């Protein structure tokens, strides 16, 4: 199976930049997703990387290095509403099966 590791908790200040790291086993890996989940709500899609490099989307960017089994999510100009759990998920084999990390709970403080 595929293990996906990410920090359990992070704290950052409003207006700052935070980087959430994710490492995974590379065997059979096809792509990596990042989702945001607010408490009591459904996960929502943030980004998808299948090739090495940086994908930028507004205040959110995601980076992937396939050879190193490493990804990160970069959040800029943090806002209080960014306080949420950020889930790293890998897709392997055929189909749409996602293997999730346990999520990083981000707390944005004043």
Partner 1 sequence: KAGVTQTPRYLIKTRGQQVTLSCSPISGHRSVSWYQQTPGQGLQFLFEYFSETQRNKGNFPGRFSGRQFSNSRSEMNVSTLELGDSALYLCASSKLDGNTEAFFGQGTRLTVV
Instruction: Please give the residue ranges that form the binding site for partner 1 (CB under 8 A).
Output: 1, 30-31, 33, 35, 41-45, 48, 50, 87, 89, 91, 93-103
Considering the complex, state which of residue 95 and residue 110 has its C-beta at the smaller distance from partner 1.
95
What is the secondary structure of 50-94 as a DSSP string? -SSEEEEETTEEEEEETTTTEEEEEE-S--GGG-EEEEEEEEESS
Nearest distance, CB of residue 104 and partner 1, angstroms: 11
Q: Of the candidates 76, 96, 104, 69, which has an alpha carbon nearest to the alpha carbon of residue 16?
A: 76
Considering the complex, state which of residue 67 and residue 96 has its C-beta at the smaller distance from partner 1.
96
Distance of CA 109 to the CA centre of its chain: 20
Q: Of the candidates 105, 110, 108, which has an alpha carbon nearest to the alpha carbon of residue 39?
A: 105
How many residues are given for the chain?
A: 110
Nearest distance, CB of residue 53 and partner 1, angstroms: 16
Nearest distance, CB of residue 102 and partner 1, angstroms: 4
Tell me if residue 12 falls in helix, strand or coil: strand
Considering the complex, state which of residue 94 and residue 110 has its C-beta at the smaller distance from partner 1.
94
Considering the complex, state which of residue 78 and residue 86 has its C-beta at the smaller distance from partner 1.
86
Nearest distance, CB of residue 93 and partner 1, angstroms: 7
């Amino acid at each position: 199976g595929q293990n996906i590791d990410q920090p359990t908790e992070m704290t950052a200040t409003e207006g700052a930049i935070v980087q959430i790291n994710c490492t995974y086993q590379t065997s059979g890996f096809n792509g990596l997703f990042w989702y945001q989940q607010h408490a009591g709500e459904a996960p929502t899609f943030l980004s998808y990387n299948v090739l090495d490099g940086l994908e930028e989307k507004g205040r959110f960017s995601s980076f992937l290095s396939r050879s190193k089994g490493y990804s990160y999510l970069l959040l800029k100009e943090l806002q209080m509403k960014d306080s949420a759990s950020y889930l790293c998920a890998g897709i392997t084999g055929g189909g749409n099966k996602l293997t999730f990390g346990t999520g990083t709970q981000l707390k944005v403080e004043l």
